[in-house]
Amino acid sequence: MPDARCRRMFALLSAYLDAELPAKNCRELERHLQGCEPCIAYLESLKKTVEACRHYRVRRTSRPTGTVRKAFLEALQMNVDDQR
């Protein structure tokens, strides 16, 4: 189970992969990664997820028809009413 330090590192990994993390934080993260299996596993998982997202880009879809939009909004409103 990751500890508080790991959870802090998890929060930095996305910025690290995007090369948006300040150098000081990169060094701290890289030191931590040298011996932390949960963080290494999480980083590898995140890398695979990013690669899959790049590979399987979502195609644009057409705008829903007025009938579909109306039905969706009615269903949404019913859900909101049920939760009250």
CA Rg, the chain, in Å?
A: 21
pLDDT of 53 higher than 60:
yes
pLDDT tier at 2 (50, 70, 90 boundaries)? low
Q: Rounded to a whole number, what is the distance in angstroms from the first to the last CA of the chain? A: 37
pLDDT, tens digit, for every residue of 14-47?
A: 888 888 999 999 999 999 999 889 889 989 999 9
Residue 26 has what pLDDT?
Answer: 92
